[in-house]
Structure 1
Amino acid sequence: MGRAVWKPLSIGLLLISLIACSEAERGQPEPPEEAPEAAATETPRTEDGLYALGRDPLYMTFYAHYGYYTMPKWGADPSSAWIRDKLNVHVKGVSAEGDGKLMLQKMVAGQQLPDVVWGERDADLERLREAGLLVPLDEYIAEYPNLRQWAGEKIINLLRSPDGHIYYFPNYYSNKPYGNAGFVVNKRIYRELGSPKLETTDDLYRYLLRVKTMFPDAVPFETGLAKEGQGIDQLFSSFKEDNFSFTRYFAVANGERMTSIYKDAGFRESAMFVAKLMREGLMSQDALVQTEYQVSEKLMAGKAAVYASADPMRMIMIADAELSKADPEDGYFFIEPIYKEGLDPARIYPGTYNVLGWNAAAITTSANNPEAIFALLDWMTGPEGSAVQMWGPPGEDGYWNGFKEDGITPAFTSKYSSDPQGLAEIQALSGDMIWVGNTGYLDKTKSEYEATLPEEDRNWATYWQQNITWRSQGDATPFIKLIPPSSIEEGRIYLKLKEIWLDARATAMFGRTDEEVLDVLDDAHAASMEAGFDLYLDYITKRWQDNLRVLNND
């Protein structure tokens, strides 16, 4: 396999752009653990000429570009322990320490980039690409089988950067609806309040008032990490038809243009509704500062009446298993998306999906053996890697034991249905450890098997995905790759707009009146216009329309 020649590193320019996004300072990150010194040997290859995973140890460092994410210890769970022992793979996590932008800045400054950066396909990763710090993956994709086979040409072509190369390995890519975003309700509280209708925003408000009165030790509406938009983005969707996660762009689709989100009627209504819940004590008062651990504690204790987020499934499946173990009538259930009276429920999307999936993994030029890392990622996105990560190690005492004759379909064991709590624990952790998820394979495989089981033996998460969440996610594929690179004026404007947005969203949540909330939004709009909002809106409108042309010509 040939090797690409990478352009010189533009470290100075990259540092300038990263520093512009970061305000805090803290000590230098500890350098990652280094692999043991080893004599140079020939790269182990299969008969097909591909890197042979498992013959030599593979050491790699992994950084997730999220302030709230800490990688679980590699080898502490059954799936990663199996990968470590069977494939001789050793992964060290690098923490963002609560500030992803600052950490990335320091790693670039210290020339200590990790081998893999995992995060949104946004301006921060694009700055690494523009500086020549990411490895192009084109040749590997052409030679290794799984991503090419399971993603297909449409997804692969959408991954191409402006220079024609591919730098990102997608996570949870799929050509079918998927996702877990939505609203979850506490069974016990709901039952004891008479199981009232919970469909509209008015229904929700009345219900939360009753919860506050009758269950003073419970949180009526739990948002999760509101600083990331959790919960409040789902409420925005309740007030707007065809809402395709527009908060990430600070703009909404209006006819054939993208226009200011601050002037959108649905967004303004949702902001007033959120502030009303906050000032009346109907939602988490620490929504902007709480941690995932604190949210999990409330869910596990049954202290949240209604919970909404972009992925409630990950923590709720464990909480449901724990509560229902003590009392089969306790636990949680999903409801249809909440909507404002008069809107079409079929056009309300608490979450979205796109064919490229959620985020992506990128291999940096710091990696000693980028091909070996790609071989691992390609294995992870294939049938065996997907099965190990989602259902644990194979074996007679596991949840699956090898594959059926097609070499793709796992042979599930009786433990799959007899030990739902153990499976839930593995799958809850997989949300943090699946970095290149193959949604099409995972969803199709588990759905087909679940259909053969009696209803009482079906997996809790799969049941609600099939009946609620998958069909209530909107297709946001036309809105992918809109964010401009920081090297152009529109990209620099975007960074200013993001600061304005984050400040306005937090401030509006604590508005003492509806008028005060609207003033915050109007001020944010004015500040955005002064920062060059129109030029940015023109840019993302063009990118959106370009996407539509590509998709319509597919």
Structure 2
Amino acid sequence: MKFRNGWSVMLVITFGMVITIAGCEKGMDGEVEKPNQPNVSEGKFTLGETPLAFSFYGSYDWYTMQPWGEDIASKWIKENKKVIVNNIPSGGAAAQKFNTMIASGELPDVIFTERGADVERLRKAGKLVPLDPYLDKYPNLKKWASPAAISMLKSEDGKLYQFPNWYTKLPTGNGGYIVNKKIHKELGSPALETFDDLYAFLKQVKDKYPNVIPFEVTIAAQGIDVLYSGFANDHPTQFVSQLAVPQGDKLTSVFADPVYKETMQFASRLYREKLMTQDALTQTLDQVREKVTTGRVAVAAAFNVTDLGKRGTVALQGKDPEAGYAILRPLHKKDVNENKVWPTQYDVLGWNVNLITTSAKNPEGIFAYLDWLTSEEGQRVINFGPEGTYWQGTDDLGAPKLGKAYFDQSTEIARLLGIWDTFTWAGNSTFLGEINDRVMKQFPPGKDDWAAGAQSVTRKSSFNVTEFINLEPAPDSEEGIIAQRIGDIYTEARAKILYAKTDEEVSGILEKAGKDANQAGYDKLLKFKTDRWQANLKKIGAK
């Protein structure tokens, strides 16, 4: 998964879905449409002249699309662009439904999903429409996405099948650390720059605030991976998530990585001394948010710490204007260069992708809509609403000129943003990043957006991991089966490490995990990933 760029209109959420063209039959949302016929004037499909209806499947358990046409943005799109989107819900069982669709041969017109194995599975079955013929006819994707992104999105046959969401030419990122301002101040505002500083502060918190979590690492203990980024120069969290650490021109074992070992020894120490949340591996996101929004967290580390910090600050300042959270510069080991610490990351491809299937009666029309959605106008409509409601006119960069109602109706704006996020299938982080400062300067004093300010820190500490994308093998391949075994070994070892009583015990757990991984074929998997990595470097012109 991978994030929106800035102020409140750029929440860090990503969605997976499928878009399907409706025929004569009644659509999933009750709309009745005639078969779509492409508008062939000047050889292009023109939105707003010919009606376009398509169904949409989000291939994620958690994704729930809001009703189309019932909010001001999608209503405007429906009326002015003549677009109707019929949702196909996953029912919380996206993988099973996806497999059923493939088995039955009844695919939706467009699938919004992760890059990777499922994409190639559909491509090899001949179920995807190549998008290359549309790139020059509809210029927005080509304008805003980098040539490297388009190149990396192409499949082995050299064709493009994926329309990306949240692609970027600019650094993005939301990972890092936050501190409870009130607790920090009451303890004398000690320095929080190094891990030694952090440890000393957490000890103080534990002593003075028995009902507060000193260090919150959020769901799946992802904050531990954030710690990893500070134990050596240029060691982004990506190395842990891909279970492969670069050494020269090869990818090597994470279990043998001295940086990972030191990280886990520190994490184990925090856990055994009860300085870290004790339900790190079992808690839900709602439980984490409840702790943060009630002020029961001193320091938190997360992949999306800007969301946590904003939620916590808004909730706490409703009762106390001095309360809330502050973003921290990336924490690090004493001898590590603070400018080479990368607790968050991005790649130019963004997060998920739209796949137009061969079931679509009008694939060009769907591409035209996605290309409009990723345009300046499309991004303004889906992030700020249609012109004339909360904004009027634009500046030279295309930033909307926000009206008083935008700031006065903050609760309604927040409600709308939650709806619009479910329609954001072609987010353009490049454009939104370019206009971010222009938008933020329009906020009145006291009404500025917390997340946007925090991102001025997180973006500067975001690592470009484009060269490491698409390293995972197909699940049913030999390497894919090995990868599953290695993942299981890693997960088990990580849990055992948290409960370890000494640094020596941590070392022993990692050594055993490394041996188990090697017996499971880790070398073969690392060779596969190394070859993919080297191929990526050639694609992006880095080799």
TM-score greater than 0.5 by the shorter chain: yes
Determine the C-alpha separation between the residues in 1 that align with 2:530 and 2:285: 35
- The amino acid that maps onto 2:223 is G
In structure 2, the CA distance between the partners of 1:136 and 1:342, relative to structure 1 (3 Å rule), is same
Which of 184, 197, 218 does residue 190 from structure 1 map onto?
184
- The amino acid that maps onto 1:358 is W
Determine the C-alpha separation between the residues in 2 that align with 1:456 and 1:82: 31
Q: Is the 8 A contact 1:240 1:267 kept in 2?
A: no
Residue 434 (str. 1) matches residue 434 (str. 2): no
Larger RCO: 1 or 2 (CA < 8 Å, sep 6+): 2
Q: Is the 8 A contact 1:74 1:81 kept in 2?
A: no
| Aligned counterpart, 2:283 | 290
| Aligned counterpart, 1:545 | 534
Residue 497 (str. 1) matches residue 481 (str. 2): no
Which of 407, 410, 420 does residue 400 from structure 2 map onto?
410
Deviation at 1:53, TM superposition (A): 4.9
| Aligned counterpart, 1:174 | 168
- The amino acid that maps onto 1:202 is D
| Aligned counterpart, 2:341 | 348
Deviation at 1:445, TM superposition (A): 0.8
In structure 2, the CA distance between the partners of 1:493 and 1:384, relative to structure 1 (3 Å rule), is same
Determine the C-alpha separation between the residues in 2 that align with 1:350 and 1:431: 25
Q: Is the 8 A contact 1:61 1:115 kept in 2?
A: yes
Q: Is the 8 A contact 1:54 1:86 kept in 2?
A: no
Determine the C-alpha separation between the residues in 2 that align with 1:247 and 1:102: 29
Determine the C-alpha separation between the residues in 2 that align with 1:222 and 1:93: 37
Deviation at 1:82, TM superposition (A): 4.7
Question: Secondary structure of the residue that 2:206 maps to in structure 1?
Answer: helix
Q: TM-score when scaled to structure 2?
A: 0.84
Which of 250, 254, 259 does residue 257 from structure 1 map onto?
250
Deviation at 1:478, TM superposition (A): 1.9
Determine the C-alpha separation between the residues in 2 that align with 1:178 and 1:256: 27
Determine the C-alpha separation between the residues in 2 that align with 1:64 and 1:313: 26
In structure 2, the CA distance between the partners of 1:459 and 1:503, relative to structure 1 (3 Å rule), is same
Determine the C-alpha separation between the residues in 1 that align with 2:30 and 2:417: 30
Determine the C-alpha separation between the residues in 2 that align with 1:520 and 1:429: 46
- The amino acid that maps onto 2:152 is L
Question: Secondary structure of the residue that 2:433 maps to in structure 1?
Answer: helix
Deviation at 1:443, TM superposition (A): 1.2
Q: TM-score when scaled to structure 1?
A: 0.83
C-alpha distance after superposition, 1:135-169 (max 9, x if no partner) = 32222333222111111433212211111111222
In structure 2, the CA distance between the partners of 1:544 and 1:522, relative to structure 1 (3 Å rule), is same
| Aligned counterpart, 1:509 | 498
- The amino acid that maps onto 2:287 is Q
- The amino acid that maps onto 1:238 is G
Q: Pairwise mapping of residues 430-469 of structure 1 onto structure 2 (< 5 A)? A: 433-451=423-441, 456=446, 458-466=448-456, 468-469=457-458
C-alpha distance after superposition, 1:473-518 (max 9, x if no partner) = 0121222222234565434433333333333334433334433433
Q: Pairwise mapping of residues 145-156 of structure 1 onto structure 2 (< 5 A)? A: 145-156=139-150
Aligned residue-pair number = 514
Q: Is the 8 A contact 2:312 2:324 kept in 1?
A: yes
In structure 2, the CA distance between the partners of 1:502 and 1:388, relative to structure 1 (3 Å rule), is farther
Determine the C-alpha separation between the residues in 1 that align with 2:224 and 2:533: 25
Q: Pairwise mapping of residues 210-225 of structure 1 onto structure 2 (< 5 A)? A: 210-225=204-219
Determine the C-alpha separation between the residues in 2 that align with 1:531 and 1:339: 34
Residue 49 (str. 1) matches residue 41 (str. 2): no
Deviation at 1:221, TM superposition (A): 2.2
Deviation at 1:214, TM superposition (A): 2.5
Q: Pairwise mapping of residues 34-433 of structure 1 onto structure 2 (< 5 A)? A: 36=31, 38-40=33-35, 42-44=37-39, 49-53=44-48, 55-56=50-51, 58-65=53-60, 67=61, 69-75=62-68, 79-80=73-74, 82-83=76-77, 86-87=80-81, 88-92=83-87, 94-95=89-90, 97=92, 101-111=95-105, 113-226=107-220, 230-244=222-236, 245-395=238-388, 397-398=389-390, 400-404=391-395, 408-417=398-407, 423=413, 426-427=416-417, 433=423
Determine the C-alpha separation between the residues in 2 that align with 1:429 and 1:205: 41
| Aligned counterpart, 2:523 | 534
Unpaired runs of 5+ in structure 2? 1-26
Determine the C-alpha separation between the residues in 1 that align with 2:33 and 2:177: 52
Q: Is the 8 A contact 2:36 2:51 kept in 1?
A: no
Determine the C-alpha separation between the residues in 1 that align with 2:273 and 2:310: 29
- The amino acid that maps onto 2:235 is N
In structure 2, the CA distance between the partners of 1:94 and 1:523, relative to structure 1 (3 Å rule), is farther
Question: Secondary structure of the residue that 1:326 maps to in structure 2?
Answer: coil
Unpaired runs of 5+ in structure 1? 1-31
Determine the C-alpha separation between the residues in 1 that align with 2:465 and 2:136: 27
C-alpha distance after superposition, 1:102-141 (max 9, x if no partner) = 5543443454544443343233433333333333222233
In structure 2, the CA distance between the partners of 1:162 and 1:278, relative to structure 1 (3 Å rule), is same
